[in-house]
Amino acid sequence: MPAGICGTWDIISNVNFEGYMIALGISPYLRKIALKLKLKKVIEQHGDLYVVKTVSAFRNYTISFRVGQEFEEFTQGLDNRHVKSLVTWEGNKLICEQIGEKRNRGWAHWVEDDKLHLELYCEGEICKQVFKKNVAE
């Protein structure tokens, strides 16, 4: 699974992104923009450092982390909150807990059938995104 997660991935489905954004308190104006975006994930690994970039025509958002090492995350350009984040492996899933003001916040990534899966969690809302590998890039 670690070998398979790196690369550039293009979104092919996005379920309940709206519910996730509402849970984060994103304004209707930004939600409308965000819902139209064709998101990409660019995932790199440099030694034990992972870099996950969420890329769009409107805004980009990048995190970098080491598995098992808590880090301070500022969700700049998203909901602009400070959280303490921890990414761990649970089986074949890369799980992130984002501890802060919002309850039950985090995400999970895994690769299944050559697709990158992502679940985004916030206060009981689950957004499910699926990406296909971009072979051209």
Interacting residue ranges for ligand VL7, rule: CB under 6 A: 21, 24, 26, 30, 34, 37, 41, 52, 54, 56, 58-61, 63, 78-79, 107, 118, 120
Contact 125, 20 (CB under 8 A): yes
Q: How far is the CB of 41 from ligand VL7 (least distance, A)?
A: 6
Q: Which is nearer to ligand VL7, 119 or 135 (CB)?
A: 119
> What CA–CA distance (Å, rounded) separates 18 from 5?
26
Q: How far is the CB of 53 from ligand VL7 (least distance, A)?
A: 8
Q: How far is the CB of 47 from ligand VL7 (least distance, A)?
A: 19
Q: How far is the CB of 76 from ligand VL7 (least distance, A)?
A: 10
Instruction: DSSP for 82-98, please give it.
Output: EEEEEEEEETTEEEEEE
Q: How many CB atoms neighbour CB 136 within 10 A?
A: 6
Contact 123, 105 (CB under 8 A): yes
Q: Which is nearer to ligand VL7, 78 or 130 (CB)?
A: 78
